[in-house]
Structure 1
């Protein structure tokens, strides 16, 4: 079989994490006849990842692409422009793939016939506070069915395999309007679903996601939880469904009250699950405060500012 798969790895000032991700890709087993290249998209204006990519020796060619305008959608589009592979896998620079990762994704795609296949993620938080670590590892992880199958709803772009012709139409399928707040994959997958596209799950396509120290905090996780909570209300608004917006706002208000009270009591009693309860309350708040202009920023310049504060 021809080498028909490229793995795209967007990166922004994470040299050690990127080196770990690339080493895991060079160690992929059972796909020597399929994996054509690894495309690393450096989203740092200074091009800081070039040396790391140059040192990533292995059997798979590793291509360096510089996308100097920071932004998650811009980086993904630049990676796509650099390869003509018909199958595209995405691995984030804070992830490390298991040796059978790509083989499992390819097998699930062949079994399900899905346009996009996702795999599970094990969150790793080596620098998180001990009481917070179980919550953060769950937060940065991803769970799904125990077997390969079609699924109704998509997951995030990290740890995925996509059929380019059906899932990634046009030269720049990711909306650069989502460069800083994220959600570029949400819009892409919503459009695919509307076209009749199918999503699949690869139960054995494991990756580990290592949360860097500046993200391994309750404040960062709750900010992300707020943004996730905004999703249903924003989707209803984009569909011009005011009753849907009202429904989600009412659901969110109930979550704020119920889980907010539960979280307050949990913190007073030092309940081990207090972070989970606060997470649910904050997601509810996101459903209420979904309006344009209130979206938190996580990528591009916002991430560069976080890295600068962390000394990177």
Structure 2
């Protein structure tokens, strides 16, 4: 491709950035960070804010922010208390070649979007993930800060990323495994809707890449800087994984999978107890034990716990 052709291709590129929100004051910081990111040459940006509250509570802030952002700001009211509804509203509203997602309690680094786009173009991937770096304050336990329990990065299985998350991602909307795909409304109150979305994308032949420099930051509020919060989250993650695993498994093979997950949970719990005097590795093993216990219940078809709409509303 010549330099002229490359410039023309870039000029035709439009990227929408989706931000799903629910009663969070931190949305303002998120939008201000988007106002300062580098816009790739020849790329047009637009921000879509999907307000998942019963009332359009974020609309006054959006109206104030319009004059501060150097690109279009679109507000969509999509009630209520179901994150899948908000994510799907962003997908429905998006009209560009790409749609990026960032959470309403995160802030973007300057080259966040440029790095996601560069990786997407180089890899040809259907989705590109970036890392989320947790930022702890001095009130967080020392073991938590040392172990960095809240940061988010993809997991590789045999050299492949098989699932993803929506707190930092770029989707290629024209991809056959993205076009028409929507988030599961049944998981919109429990969480795990993004894990299901990307797992099913991968099973349909989609490629997920990683851009390690496409960094966003997430503060860890006091409500989340607790072992109990992490335990509930890990358990729910395990439930989602177990249910997805069960989808492709025959009823006769499922008892073996349940036994394997239970054995992993028992092993990790034992390791945690043996490391009782060492807080960071102890808690890491105990949280893995809880996650595998969630896998057991997910495989068994137990009811998924509902978290969304509770903590979000109480988090600054």
- Bin for the TM-score computed over the shorter chain: 0.7 to 0.9
Where in structure 1 are there 5+ consecutive unaligned residues? Answer: none
Asked if the contact 1:8/1:39 (under 8 Å) is kept, the reply is: yes
| TM-superposition CA deviations, 1:119-177 (whole Å, max 9, x none) | 111112337532343267333332679xxxx943232121000011224332x611111
**Counterpart among 266, 270, 274 of residue 282 in structure 2:** 274
Alignment of 1:240-279 (within 5 A): 240-242=249-251, 244-267=253-276, 269-279=277-287
Give the Cα–Cα distance (whole angstroms) in 2 for the partners of residues 3 and 80 of structure 1: 17
**Counterpart among 34, 46, 70 of residue 43 in structure 2:** 34
Is 1:115 the counterpart of 2:115? The answer is: no
Give the Cα–Cα distance (whole angstroms) in 1 for the partners of residues 288 and 40 of structure 2: 41
Task: Provide the residue aligned with 1:74 in structure 2.
Answer: 85
Alignment of 1:1-312 (within 5 A): 1-15=11-25, 17-31=26-40, 33-56=42-65, 57-126=68-137, 129-134=140-145, 137-142=148-153, 151-166=160-175, 167-170=177-180, 173-242=182-251, 244-267=253-276, 269-290=277-298, 291-299=300-308, 303-304=309-310, 306=311, 310=314
Give the Cα–Cα distance (whole angstroms) in 2 for the partners of residues 152 and 214 of structure 1: 30
Pairwise CA distance, 1:108: 0.1
Asked if the contact 1:182/1:298 (under 8 Å) is kept, the reply is: yes
Pairwise CA distance, 1:297: 1.4
Pairwise CA distance, 1:188: 2.3
Asked if the contact 2:87/2:183 (under 8 Å) is kept, the reply is: yes
What do you get for the CA RMSD once the two structures are aligned?
A: 2.4
Summarize the Cα distance change of 1:263–1:95 in structure 2 as closer, same or farther, 3 Å threshold.
same
Asked if the contact 1:127/1:212 (under 8 Å) is kept, the reply is: no
Asked if the contact 1:128/1:217 (under 8 Å) is kept, the reply is: no
Q: Secondary structure at the match of 1:273?
A: helix
Pairs aligned (count)? 300
TM-score with structure 2 length normalisation? Answer: 0.86
Give the Cα–Cα distance (whole angstroms) in 1 for the partners of residues 220 and 252 of structure 2: 38
Where in structure 2 are there 5+ consecutive unaligned residues? Answer: 1-10
Asked if the contact 1:144/1:203 (under 8 Å) is kept, the reply is: no
TM-score with structure 1 length normalisation? Answer: 0.87
| TM-superposition CA deviations, 1:238-282 (whole Å, max 9, x none) | 124335533432232222222212323434x25332221210110
Asked if the contact 2:103/2:167 (under 8 Å) is kept, the reply is: yes
